[in-house]
A = this chain, B = another copy of it.
Amino acid sequence: MQASSSLMSGISELLLLRLLAERQMYGYELARAIHSTTRHAISVGEGVLYPVLHTLERRGWLKARRCTVNGRTRVYYSLTRGGRRHLKKITQDWRRISGGVDAALLDPKYA
């Protein structure tokens, strides 16, 4: 089961940075890690994954390091200091937004 596409945006960025805050990982690995750490609630296709990683790198939040393992090329990504700062910010954004949505779902007459 895949998430309703319209609910997906921006979340991949959050999840990628969160995973890379723990340790460096490569693209293919990240895709499977997102699937498992979200309890199979979210899958990020490769058509989303790689463009997002490139964007995050261009913005200076990730640093890429290429290396070859078993004849296959892997691109390992790690968080920069700016990336860590950005992760903190969008994590707070996420908590505020998801908290707001949950409040609205409980009681639309709130406040």
Contacts and interface: CB of A to CB of B under 8 A. Distances in A.
A76 to B, nearest CB: 16
A83 to B, nearest CB: 15
Q: Is the interface of A mostly helix, strand, loop or mixed?
A: helix
B107 A37 contact: yes
A18 interface: yes
Interface residues of A, number: 45
Interface in A7-48: 7-11, 13-15, 18-19, 21-22, 33-34, 36-42
Contacts of A102: 98
A4 B42 contact: no
Contacts of A38: 97, 100-101, 103-104
